[in-house]
Chains A and B, each alone.
Chain A
Amino acid sequence: NAGVTQTPKFQVLKTGQSMTLQCAQDMNHNSMYWYRQDPGMGLRLIYYSASEGTTDKGEVPNGYNVSRLNKREFSLRLESAAPSQTSVYFCASSTTPAVRAEQFFGPGTRLTVL
């Protein structure tokens, strides 16, 4: 039981390059989330998927796209990376989007855009 896994752990991109961050969970959770964490700021929600087949924008969606591939997997794509997207990205999952559902976090992906 691995929980929430993310790949890659580290990535360096040049401005304009594209990449996809992968996230998978093996807890049979319905809801999945992508956050970014920047120095001096709290975690901010980029996109979420309340259930398989649905995705919605969070607080900072610009420059990103997501795909809920199946119940287990939720990917985050940067189509044309910008230095402002340098950050640590966390994927999380929960049983439901319900107000009292605990979220389980992946180990994070540290992305640097040059």
Chain B
Amino acid sequence: KNEVEQSPQNLTAQEGEFITINCSYSVGISALHWLQQHPGGGIVSLFMLSSGKKKHGRLIATINIQEKHSSLHITASHPRDSAVYICAVRSRRGGSQGNLIFGKGTKLSVKP
């Protein structure tokens, strides 16, 4: 079983819809990251959180440490949101030396 599981793997939405992408993990973590990979391949960091909720524009990320679960929400989705969204956790195992564990990503396609 993968240590970081994302669902769904693929998601197609109509412009304007509210979107939720889920991430579950099985290890103890010190932080969770949400990343966006553009169709051209570039990867950018969206959020880093260890508790609660963060909001940036139309994007909202939440985390429930007890349930080992995080969600990424996109409100009023737009075709330019089409990308692969990647969840990554920083495990408490092995100290703090750079070991992010990545999910396989959720491919989002927003149709006009």
CB distance from B43 to the nearest CB of A (A): 4
Cα of A99 to Cα of B41 in the assembled complex, Å: 25
Whether B42 pairs with A107 at a CB distance below 8 angstroms is yes
Q: Is B85 an interface residue (CB 8 A)?
A: no
Q: Mark B51-81, 1 if CB is under 8 A from A, else 0.
A: 0000000000000000000000000000000
Mostly, the B contact residues are strand
CB distance from B90 to the nearest CB of A (A): 5
CB distance from A25 to the nearest CB of B (A): 14
User: Hey, which chain A residues are within 8 Å of B104, CB to CB?
Assistant: 40-42
Mostly, the A contact residues are loop
CB contacts under 8 Å to A, within B83-112, are: 86, 88, 90, 96-105
Q: Mark A78-111, 1 if CB is under 8 A from B, else 0.
A: 0000000000101000100111101111011010
Q: Which residue of A lies closest to B4 (CB)?
A: A42
- Contact-residue size bin, chain A (C-beta under 8 Å from the other chain): 20 to 34
Chain A to chain B contacts (Cβ below 8 Å), 19 pairs = A33-B98, A40-B104, A41-B104, A42-B2, A42-B88, A43-B102, A45-B98, A48-B97, A50-B97, A56-B98, A97-B96, A99-B96, A100-B48, A103-B33, A103-B45, A103-B100, A104-B45, A105-B35, A105-B44
Question: Interface on B for A, CB 8 Å cutoff?
Answer: 2, 4, 30-31, 33, 35, 41-45, 48, 50, 86, 88, 90, 96-105
Please provide the 5 A-B residue pairs with the shortest distance between their CB atoms, ordered closest to farther: A42-B102, A105-B43, A99-B30, A43-B102, A48-B98
